[in-house]
Structure 1
Amino acid sequence: MNETLYAPVDHPGVPVPENRRCWSASWPEYTPVDISPPELRPAALAQHVPGWVVDRGATPDLVPDWAERQANALVPFTVDARGWPLHPHGRTGRTGRNLGKWGENAAADPIVVAGTGEQRRVLLITRDDIGVEAIPGGMVDPDEMVPAALKRELREETGVNLTDQQPIILGRQVVDDWRTTDYAWVASTSALYQLPEQVTATAGSDAADAGWWPFGSLEQLEAAVTAAGRTLYAAHRPLLLRALEYLNQK
């Protein structure tokens, strides 16, 4: 048996033509690259489970509750004949996993906006894993409800406590997370918090920095981030656009 060859966790994967992305499209020669980090490879999983790992099985067919997970998914997905979950958007060019769970990994992304008009600002963190400007947020803990996860992640990453406020749920969608593979992905619930003015934000867990940025438009935000020598997290652009669409309707 050939030993599995692993690529770096940030490997972009093999190119996937648009006409081969759908799982129903025949592609017998498809050979995605495995980006599983050492701690999630079979040998390591057989000996220990890192604290953030939820699924102990080295392959998805060892997960016993796919029917329940499908019923509770934020975004519908299918499971193939082998018992492997399939990314809702099709082939990604990458296999294995660099996430705690096979299949959907639920995330909560609170978008906090202060002020109105030209004074409107959005709260972002600098992620300490990939060094980009992003919405504060993260994975929903086991047995945790999304509203609680939104407030917990915001408090942990920025020090901002909005437990007394009810956010507006903007949507639920699969995000283009850098850890995505064919069989493990992130689906996010994005929610909007509106404040009359900025409050103090301090970088906490998973954040190297936290601060307020101009948010009249996505172009304005990206220009400000670029001018500061930083990069806006591409996976969060659709979530920020959805927040702007809601704000600009009012």
Structure 2
Amino acid sequence: MNETRSTADAAAPGPDGYAPVDHPGVTVPEDLRRWSVNWPAYTPVDITPPELRAEALARHVPDWATDGYATPDLVRDWEQRQAVALVPFQLDKRGWPLHPQGRTGRTGRNLGKWGESAAADPIVVAGSGDERRVLLITRDDIEQEAIPGGMVDVHLGETAPKALVRELLEETGLDLRQHTAVILGQDLVDDWRNTDYAWVASTSALYQLPATVTAVAADDALDANWYPFGSLDQLEDAVAAAGRTLYAAHRPLLQRALDHLAK
């Protein structure tokens, strides 16, 4: 799903009670973020897009959505999902999944699943020293420079390693099936679509090539380019010089790759 609006359009909820999908939500003070802290006045903003609301789901479930349920208490396999989650999470008394890091200021969902959506983020680095480069794409949903990647098709039996290769091939044309990746971590991602009850957790992996190769943007990518990758500051400067913005949620993943390369 590629619905996106500018920050200026992230207004208060409309008469139907829903806000734009990129609404930042209500401010959550750090001392009230944990679910164990009582906050009766908490009123998060619902950013559910029209196609995932109850009336729309009753007619049609979008191709990109795994859960065709308007509310998460209707999901029947939470025990199984919790067992395979990249980041452990709990359910509340209603049977709703709770974001592992606490309140987000937003409710509803703008993802295909309730609870954790598993993603795969392949970080492809080429060359060494002053010639080291990292491959980034321009995402078509937010038009920012990001690691090529996407959701793991868990419902089709796909694993994270297979998703890493598939996403690279689909978005950049690179076929790295014969290359060995280093798994860097499995972490929550500060994705722009996260809410209290639906969020992204990613398996990030590092691929190292001797030199850059041709990458052609496709699928969810508007463009694909190699950027200098000596440090995160250097990368951000190069992205800014190209008139673009680095996707903030991917900064920690890119820094982890740099830390691994520095060993």
The aligned residue for residue 73 of structure 1 is: 85
Post-superposition Cα deviations, 1:69-107, rounded to whole Å, max 9, x if no partner, equal 000000000011100000001000000000000000000
SS at the partner of 1:191? strand
Shift of 1:4: 5.3
TM superposition shift of 1:206:
0.3
Q: SS at 1:148's partner residue?
A: helix
Match of 2:94 in 1: 82
Partner Cα separation in structure 2 for residue 242 and residue 23 of structure 1: 28
* AA matched with 1:89: Q
**2:220 corresponding residue in structure 1:** 206
Matched, 1:109 2:121: yes
CA distance in 2, matches of 1:187, 1:208: 23
After TM superposition, the score normalised by the length of structure 2 is 0.93
Say whether residues 1:149 and 2:146 are aligned partners: no
In structure 1, what is the equivalent of residue 150 of structure 2? Answer: 138
Residue 48 in structure 1 maps to residue 60 in structure 2: yes
Among candidates 18, 23, 37, match of residue 11 of structure 1:
23
Q: Distance between the aligned counterparts of 1:44 and 1:31, measured in 2?
A: 24
Q: Give the total of aligned pairs.
A: 247
Task: Specify which of 18, 33, 43 is matched with residue 45 of structure 2.
Answer: 33
* C-alpha distance in structure 1 between counterparts of 2:222 and 2:69, whole Å: 32
Match of 1:67, SS state, is helix
Residue segments in structure 2 that go unaligned for 5+ positions in a row: 1-14
Q: In the aligned structure 1, how far is the partner of 2:212 from the partner of 2:242? A: 20
- Please report how far the alpha carbon of residue 9 of structure 1 lies from its aligned counterpart in structure 2 after TM superposition: 0.1
Pairwise CA distance, 1:228: 1.0
In structure 1, C-alpha distance between the alignment counterparts of 2:169 and 2:233, rounded to whole Å = 27
Instruction: Specify which of 107, 120, 125 is matched with residue 95 of structure 1.
Output: 107
Give the whole-Å Cα distance in 1 for the aligned partners of 2:141 and 2:127: 30
Aligned pairs for 1:92-241 within 5 A: 92-141=104-153, 142=155, 143-241=157-255
Letter in 2 for 1:109: D
State the 1:237 CA deviation: 0.3
Percent of residue pairs bearing the same amino acid type? 72
3-state SS in 1 of match to 2:262: helix
Q: Secondary structure of 2:235's partner?
A: helix
Amino acid at match of 1:62: L
> 1:41-70: CA deviations, max 9, x gaps?
000011110101100110010000001000
> Once superposed, what is the RMSD of the aligned Cα atoms?
0.7
- Determine the C-alpha separation between the residues in 1 that align with 2:30 and 2:92: 21
